[in-house]
Structure 1
Amino acid sequence: MSDFAEAVRERLLVCDGAMGTMLHAAGNSLDRSLPELNLSNPDLVSTVHESYVDAGADILLTNTFGASRPRLAEHGFSGDIGEINRAGVRLARQAARRAGRQVFVGGSVAPAVSTGRRNQVGAADRAAAVREQVLALADAGVDLLVLETFGYLDELAEAVLTAATATGLPILAQATFTSEGRTPGGQTPREVATALAELDVTALGVNCTVGPQRTLAVAEQLRRHTTLPLSAQPNAGLPRRVRGRRFEYSLDHDYFARYARRCAERGVSIVGGCCGTTPGHIRAVAAAVSDLDVRRTSRGRAARPPAAAPEEQGGLAQRFAEGGFVVAAEIAPPRGGVADEAAELATEVRQRGAELILVSAAGGAGAQLSSTSLALHLQSEVGIETIATVTTWDKTIMTLQADLLGAHAFGTRTVVCETGNPPLRGDYPNADGIWEVDSVGLVELVAGLNDGRDCDGLSLATKTSFHIGARCNPGAEDVDAEIARTRAKIAAGAQFLITRPVYELTTLRWMVAELSDEGVPILVAVSPLSGFAEAEFLAYEVPDVTVPLSTLSTLAQRERAGDDGRGVGLLLASELVEQARSLADGVLVVVREHDVDAAARLLAAATTAPG
């Protein structure tokens, strides 16, 4: 479908995010002419475009916002207007062609003059400036014209009339609104929609100035007063000025994407971002709205291609691809950083039937090896495939990225992404740690590395081939919320799931059924109870752990009768393992206190054919 006017009425489109924000982040000052970079630094502009294409954008806006003669003249480039605009189209078109799918190129047109000069330049001169720019964009081959960030309705109307008369191209007209719900010129969404309905506009919308919540409110108002397709491109919240030289935005990707989906659900046809948004935001938006239109399944959860072939991602990915039942064991990093002790345990567990080893996150404040380091050591010394647990607490996203790239370089291919819990210590033992991202953000980071993008959405020299796992918790108190969060992890790029240890299967069955449409393999973790005391502790003192009353009753009765609580707990765990074979794609046996014999019994139950 090559015609934008047809496409915007037939399907949901994702527009790109901020160009200026990305160019500023690359070191360009706030007071320079960014469109001129089309000539002086085209590689940088191309990189930004390509990053948005990789993120899933259906529309790329040219780096020509502010490329009118009056605005360029302020920086001494008025003589280059045609060359700058044509170069802007060429760079965007090159990125669009490399996408391997339909990506529209929109010619970005700002108000002809800045707000401060509005009263100094008459309507005829403004119209002449718009005409000159749109003719250059049309001549270079844009698919549509995007008139954006117009704060005054008279200027927007005159720009629409000028562009329509000069080119005949589809026009997306976007006004900007303040937090009060009016344009800087004082017009309401109804007034904007009513005025533009009389003009040759293909779509209209709102962009810039405000964040997702206020943009949604304006879009809802516009929807009430027009039948035209709508667009919504909010800023990433409010910025803060850093050291007087640049602005920073800190709006969470998931939050931004959640409101993009709400806009789409309320009838918006184009969702994207403006100031402060990055390829990371747009990738989250594309994932969040992918299931709202069947024509977008090529970028949806179920149809997302793996970053690498299963054999490149390790044996676990290949086992899943072949439909085999996986039997794995989980061990914790030993205290004191003694790697040989862990290697001996891994060797014994492998001999008892474990196909691979999950190294859990470090726990407690004592010295111990990191999960990724120990996983690499076991692969090298024991020769068994490992899964490394990566946690986000007390790590910046840059540190996480560096750790992941290093682990991949040394051979780690399978990781489980967790938020993690800081150790209890100090005068305030329950104080939180520091998180820049949670597990969903970590999954998104790893998926980006697999696609060859860093945490800022910029291209890397190479791609990683991680097989990405995430945790889910059937024992959560709010199972609906847990399923929603698990879906968010899958949407971010998780390719398999591992449950928290389960002590009953009712909620697990329900969770598996609810997630069946995702097509993601699930490993069920089983940890044998040591007796009634532990079961009671978990049931009453540990949040989001479900231990059924029948289990508590059985353990209490058997212990009163003189039976060994550990043996009863192991028997109950074996029964869970046997029943779990029909529910999941594999079992993860938690090895506790180096009890290899107990682990061997559960591994045997996992490898016994049912019935």
Structure 2
Amino acid sequence: MMLLDELNKRMLTADGAMGTLLYSYGIEYCNEELNIQRPEVIEKIHRDYIAAGADIIQTNTYGANAHKLARYGLEDQVKAINKAAIAIANKAAKDGGQFVLGTIGGIRGIRQSDATLDEIVAMVDQQAQHLLSGDPDGLLLETYYDFEELAATVTHLKKLTDAPLIAQLSMHEPGILQNGMSLNEGLKRLDALGTEIVGVNCRLGPHHTIQAFEGVELPEKAFLSAYPNASLLDIEDGRIVYESEADYFGRAALLLREEGVRLIGGCCGTTPKHIEAVKKRIGHLQPITEKKVEEKKPIVIREAEALKDKPLHEKAKTERTIIVELDTPRHLEIDKFLEGSKALDAEGIDAITMADNSLASPRISNMAMGSILKHQQDVRPLAHITCRDRNVIGLQSHLMGLDALGIHDILAVTGDPTKVGDFPGATSVYDVSSLELIQLIKKLNEGISFSGKPLRKKANFSVAAAFNPNVRVVERAVARLEKKIEAGADYFISQPVYTKEKIIEIHEATKHLETPIFLGVMPLTSIRSADFLHNEVPGIKLSEEALDRMRACGDDKEKATAEGIQIAKELIDTAAELFHGIYLITPFVRYDMTVELIRYIRQLDLEKASDRAYA
């Protein structure tokens, strides 16, 4: 417990970034593999920090877990890499008696890892066992954006070892965690779990780190730590740079001390010069033992405005609900689209749904067209949002814009990869999956931004998720639906289905779910389009019967249209019996075909109601 004894008596200076120095050496591969391949480089960095005055150094193992090493095909090297790292650090600290911390990095960020919490804890256990075999003075848990992950990690490690734990959260916004919890509350909870040292690291520079600690009370038992970045990062000639001067970083350490922080090191962008400046400023000082935190008035988050119309997912639980997809134009002429939307609305549909650059081909923004539908035609728009085209910044901005426009119906989808569209060389973003996007949208409904910052008002999004039942084992697709329900999906919109048997199979596989499903039906227009849908469009498969019937129409367009409508009506006969929600997909802006199908559904419902009344 010597580390804690020293912290009880004096300020301690930790080391700075490892990756920053390796990056400056031109190393941009797997930093942790260097523990085996180039141990002398890692040892030199440790010794440089020690020479700068660091009382504590940490092992080069931030990403040395199976999950992160798998990116480089090194997941079977967890033992070798961690054991080498602790040996190198112990060797470097032997002469000067510096404390050595075994470092374990967080896995989750804005994007939730595919690994479950149990799998993450198992990987932490594996890494910790190898680090602890080298008898470190403590374990440093750093760069944890997800509070749940850090709490679970601390809880497990407290069962595994008596070595002190330093648990450090990371913030996108000063004083606020990603889940909307205050930093003060998060550190209190870590203290209550028995964590010996609690604090923050990464993402924010000195200024915002100090600002965050202004609202932090001194913990009941734990000590406070801070490892800020050198500054906010910048890009210069394609390389990441940090603009902070070492003396500024040292002066910031003094202000962190005034906020009760006892252990101060550096994260991204910091070098031995920064640590030397910290040591010079605080190395001779005693820690602060009393602190008064002024209570700040909480930001009031207003309730969302009441919706004019009943949410689609509520209506579809008990009564017929029809939504129609109408593609926005791929050109700048919008008259036919608006003509179609008027005709569809006149049939009493519940919403017009618009894809988000389907098949990765640019179309007029569905936000723009949705605004025109809502405000000029009083038509209810349902906007698709893909994860493909926008990073998390763009996604949040886009959603905030939709809320401002009064567009509350959303379909969250992954999005077709760019290689299938008009610009195959364009970049697919995929910062988050559709599952994670649903979760983030639901945070907006609580008035909390993706980064945890309060938004002053709650959004009121009704969130649909995509359902592709055209798979061999539909139960696997249903298992995916259950995960989306857990993430917050309010209802599902399916890909078009082309056999009665598949519709019945879907109903049997999903009848245990309370979440409504809008069953997709798309009329065929020709054998060419049918072949294209069947063979080239992801998630769509036609029956051989449908293909044969369209093939029999040959080049007769009128006959093909009539046959396509007839096939769709036969599918609707089954779908309307089993599902309240029907999703009609308009082919090639042929809204006349969709109008006929809407009227057919209404007639079926009238006949059914009449039969009930007669009975």
TM-score, normalised by the number of residues in structure 1:
0.52
Mapped pair 1:415 → 2:410: yes
- The residue number in structure 2 matching 1:538 is 533
Deviations 1:257-293 (A, max 9, x none): 9xx89x99xx99xxxx96567766899xxxxxxxxxx
Residues 1:217 and 1:379: Cα distance change in structure 2 (over 3 Å):
closer
State the AA in 1 paired with 2:498.
Answer: Y
**Contact 1:587/1:606 (<8 A) preserved:** no
Question: How far apart are 1:540 and its partner, in Å?
Answer: 2.9
Match for residue 602 of structure 1 among 597, 600, 603? 597
Q: How far apart, in 1, do the equivalents of 2:528 and 2:86 lie? A: 69
Gaps of 5+ in 2: 14-53, 58-77, 88-101, 108-114, 129-138, 161-165, 172-176, 182-301
| Cα deviation, residue 493, structure 1 | 1.3
SS state of the match for residue 442, structure 1? helix
- Residue 496 of structure 2 aligns to a residue whose secondary structure is coil
- Secondary structure of 2:464's counterpart equals strand
Relative to structure 1, the CA distance from residue 117 to residue 221 in structure 2 (aligned partners, 3 Å threshold; closer, same or farther) is: closer
Indicate how the Cα distance of structure 1 residues 470 and 209 shifts in structure 2: closer, same or farther if over 3 A, else same.
closer
Which amino acid counterpart does residue 481 of structure 2 have in structure 1?
A: T
User: In the alignment, what sits opposite 1:589?
Assistant: 584
Partner residue, 2:447: 452
Cα gap change, 1:311 to 1:234, in 2 (>3 Å): farther
Q: Give secondary structure in 1 for the equivalent of 2:577.
A: coil
1:417 Cα offset (Å): 0.9
Question: CA 1:180 to 1:529, structure 2 compared with 1: closer, same or farther past 3 Å?
Answer: same
Distance 1:274 1:314 in 2: 47
Range with bigger deviation, 208-217 or 508-517: 208-217
> CA offsets per residue over residues 219-247 of structure 1, 9 Å max, x none?
5999xxxxxxxxxx996xxx8xxxxxxxx
Alignment of 1:194-209 (within 5 A): 208=104
The match for 1:32 is none
Tell me how far 1:451 sits from its aligned partner: 1.3
C-alpha distance in structure 2 between counterparts of 1:486 and 1:308, whole Å: 29
Kindly tell me: are residues 453 and 560 of structure 1, through their superposed partners in 2, closer, same or farther at Cα, counting changes over 3 Å? closer
Q: CA deviation at 1:415?
A: 0.9
Which residue is equivalent to 2:10? 73
Equivalent in the alignment of 1:360: 355
Query: Which amino acid letter does the alignment assign opposite residue 409 of structure 1?
Result: A
Structure 2 Cα separation of the partners of residues 353 and 377 of structure 1: 18
Task: Report the Cα offset of residue 428 of structure 1.
Answer: 7.8
Alpha-carbon distance between aligned partners in 1 of 2:592 and 2:423, rounded to the nearest angstrom: 39
What amino acid sits opposite 2:497 in the alignment? V
Instruction: Count residues in correspondence.
Output: 380
Residue aligning to 2:66: none
Distance 2:550 2:429 in 1: 39
CA spacing shift, 1:377–1:558, aligned 2, 3 Å:
closer
- Look up the equivalent residue of 1:596 and give its one-letter code: Y
> Secondary structure of the residue that 1:416 maps to in structure 2?
strand
Deviation per CA, 1:352-400: give whole Å up to 9, x if none: 3423211222347776421122112101111121111112213110111
Trace 1:152-551 onto structure 2 (pairs within 5 A). Answer: 208=104, 213=119, 215-216=121-122, 312=307, 314-317=309-312, 319-320=314-315, 323-363=318-358, 368-421=363-416, 429=424, 433-477=428-472, 479-551=474-546
Letter in 2 for 1:519: E
Out of 553, 560, 566, which is 2:548 matched to?
553
Tell me, yes or no, if the aligned pair for 2:585 and 2:594 is still in contact at 8 Å: yes
The one-letter code matched in structure 2 to 1:216 is A
Following superposition, the deviation at residue 504 of structure 1 comes to: 2.0
Distance 1:597 1:367 in 2: 24
Q: Report deviation, 1:424.
A: 5.2
Q: Secondary structure at the match of 2:547?
A: helix
Secondary structure of 2:331's aligned partner? coil
Cα deviation, residue 351, structure 1: 1.4
- Alignment gaps of 5+ in structure 1: 1-65, 77-115, 120-176, 187-205, 223-232, 240-247, 284-306
Q: Letter of the 1:398 partner, please give it.
A: I
Could you tell me how far 1:587 is from its partner in structure 2? 0.8
Deviation at 1:404, TM superposition (A): 0.7
Residue of structure 2 in register with 1:80 after alignment: none
Does the 8 A contact of 1:178 with 1:184 survive in 2?
no
State how far apart, in whole Å, the 1-side matches of 2:512 and 2:409 are: 23
Task: Report if aligned partners of 2:324, 2:349 keep a CA contact under 8 Å in 1.
Answer: yes
Q: Give me the whole-angstrom Cα distance separating, in 2, the residues matched to 1:334 and 1:546.
A: 25
In structure 2, distance between residues paired with 1:118 and 1:447: 42
Report the Cα distance in structure 1 between the residues aligned to 2:178 and 2:566, rounded to whole angstroms: 47
Following superposition, the deviation at residue 349 of structure 1 comes to: 1.0
- SS of the aligned residue for 2:478 comes to helix
**Which letter maps to 1:414?**
D
Q: Distance in 2 between matches of 1:234 and 1:342?
A: 58
* 1:449–1:463 CA contact under 8 A, matched in 2: yes
Q: 1:582 to 1:311 in 2, by over 3 A?
A: farther
CA distance 1:274–1:208, shift in 2 (3 Å):
farther
- The aligned amino acid for 1:354 is I
What residue in structure 1 maps to residue 568 of structure 2? 573
2:278 aligns to what? Answer: none
1:218–1:408 CA distance, 2 compared to 1 (3 A): closer
Q: Distance in 2 between matches of 1:274 and 1:508?
A: 51
For the residues of structure 1 that align with 2:562 and 2:452, how far apart are their CA atoms? 52
Report the CA distance shift for 1:565/1:349 in structure 2 as closer, same or farther (over 3 A).
Answer: same
The alpha carbon displacement at 1:67 in A equals: 8.8
Letter in 2 for 1:215: V
Q: Which amino acid aligns with 1:530?
A: T
When the two chains are superposed, the root-mean-square deviation of aligned CA atoms in Å is 4.8
Structure 1 residues 207 and 537, CA gap change in structure 2 (3 angstroms) = same
1:59 matched to which residue of 2? none
Report if the CA contact (8 A) 1:387-1:416 is conserved.
Answer: yes
Q: Which residue does the alignment assign to 1:62?
A: none
Match of 1:564, SS state, is helix
Return the alpha-carbon distance in structure 2 between the equivalents of residues 366 and 511 of structure 1. Answer: 30
Secondary structure in structure 1 of the residue aligned to 2:407: coil
Equivalent pair of 2:180/2:448 in contact (CA under 8 Å): no
Contact 1:314–1:467 under 8 Å retained in 2? no
Amino acid at match of 1:549: E
CA contact (8 A) 1:578 1:605 kept: no
**Counterparts of 2:179 and 2:80, CA distance in 1:** 22
Q: Is the 8 A contact 1:337 1:367 kept in 2?
A: no
Quick check: 2:360–2:416 contact (8 Å CA) kept in 1? no
**Deviations along 1:522-567, whole A, 9 cap, x unmatched?**
1112110113332233323333322112222333345499982221
Aligned AA (1:487)? E
| 1-structure distance, mates of 2:444, 2:5 | 38
CA separation in 1, counterparts of 2:349 and 2:577? 19
**CA 1:416–1:382 in 2, change beyond 3 Å: closer, same or farther?**
same
Alignment-mate amino acid for residue 580 of structure 1: A
Distance 2:316 2:536 in 1: 39
Instruction: Give the whole-Å Cα distance in 1 for the aligned partners of 2:477 and 2:361.
Output: 31
CA 1:429 to 1:335, structure 2 compared with 1: closer, same or farther past 3 Å?
closer
